[in-house]
Structure 1
Amino acid sequence: MKKIGFLLVLCFVFSLLTAFEHQDKLEITDTEITVIQSEGILRYDFKIKNTGEATIESDFDYPGQHPFGIEFIVQPNEKLSEVMIMEEHTNYKKMLPLGSGHAGFFEPNVEMPVYLEYKIKDDVNPEEVKELAYDASLLILDGVDITVKFPLQELQEQLSN
């Protein structure tokens, strides 16, 4: 019985070490933030480059029929979450998503466009939202695991230099 438990823990640790093993090869090369006032949308457009030599794709597997694969989300910090409509009944800070688009994998030496849209509260100044949009992090998930976290404030500083 102890051997089975040890093997299960070993398999779990091995899967964590091998899943999405090339995340250090991902680099955000450009970002654009747009506030669409008429529709109450905060839109993020990113270009993410795989600087490695191999395709990066999801290794996530589970017993269901619809694997999650690679997912992108912008996770707000405190100030941004105050001006956005947030999802309820969750332990995580999640802005209400309105749309997204991406290829779901990263070809070597190719910039992949990613866009994410979230709902702004009705009574908020759009200029304030645009100023606070970098008070967040871009998370890249493989299934339920966060594989890469890009703090947007740091990204803004790097791209402006």
Structure 2
Amino acid sequence: MKNGFLLVLFLAFSILTGFEHQDKLEITDTEITVIQSEGLLRYDFKIKNNGEIPIESDFDYPGQHPFGIEFVIRPNEKLSEVMVMEKRTNYNKMLSLGSGHSGYFEPNTEMSVHLEYKMKDDVNPEKVKKLAYDSTLLILDGVDIAIEFPLQEIKEKLSN
């Protein structure tokens, strides 16, 4: 009984103290690049912390390599058809070729994020570029999804 109470207390505490100010994040710019010779689809984002305090991961676990903040693109069905997909997973994941970001959101500052994924061979690069918005940017805090940005909605918002 005592262990169950401690587990509930730990889970409640981690939910309350984790990536708690994600509502202050805003995508201010996106750029999609297709490099056919390297077979990659690249996403570049500018994400702004509109808040007054830093946003960072509080994720901790007993292992040696904490995950912290991670950015991934979850493809929808049409994009999945033109991309190389990860095997042996229950999740819809494209094969990652690399990424870059600071993993920390300074207050009132834009952070640059880039993500690269492997396209299938012999696909039309213009089709891939058009379908790139058929997806969602996920910001993970450890193993939990902290926030989701549907890219089609972001594209429409930024074009207005």
The question of a shared fold, defined as TM-score above 0.5 by the shorter chain, is answered with yes
Deviation at 1:142, TM superposition (A): 0.7
Deviations 1:88-136 (A, max 9, x none): 0000000000010000100001100000000000021001001100000
SS of the equivalent of 1:159 reads helix
Could you tell me which residue of structure 1 aligns to residue 27 of structure 2?
28
* Contiguous gaps of at least 5 residues in structure 2: none
Deviation at 1:14, TM superposition (A): 2.4
Determine the C-alpha separation between the residues in 1 that align with 2:98 and 2:32: 14
Determine the C-alpha separation between the residues in 1 that align with 2:125 and 2:3: 56
Aligned residues: 160
Determine the C-alpha separation between the residues in 1 that align with 2:118 and 2:133: 16
Could you tell me which residue of structure 2 aligns to residue 146 of structure 1?
145
Relative to the length of structure 1, the TM-score reads 0.97
Could you tell me which residue of structure 2 aligns to residue 41 of structure 1?
40
Matches within 5 A, 1:107-146: 107-146=106-145
Identity of aligned residues (%): 78
Could you tell me which residue of structure 1 aligns to residue 66 of structure 2?
67
Could you tell me which residue of structure 1 aligns to residue 84 of structure 2?
85
Deviation at 1:6, TM superposition (A): 2.6
SS of the equivalent of 2:67 reads coil
Deviation at 1:17, TM superposition (A): 2.4
Deviation at 1:85, TM superposition (A): 0.1
Mapped pair 1:94 → 2:93: yes
Relative to the length of structure 2, the TM-score reads 0.97
* Contiguous gaps of at least 5 residues in structure 1: none
What amino acid sits opposite 1:126 in the alignment? P
Deviation at 1:13, TM superposition (A): 2.2
SS of the equivalent of 2:129 reads helix
Deviation at 1:74, TM superposition (A): 0.5
Determine the C-alpha separation between the residues in 2 that align with 1:8 and 1:87: 33
Determine the C-alpha separation between the residues in 2 that align with 1:50 and 1:105: 10
Mapped pair 1:7 → 2:6: yes
Deviation at 1:61, TM superposition (A): 0.3
SS of the equivalent of 1:137 reads strand
Structure 1 runs of 4+ aligned residues shifted over 6 Å read: none
Instruction: Please identify, of 5-14 and 134-143, the stretch whose mean Cα deviation from structure 2 is larger.
Output: 5-14
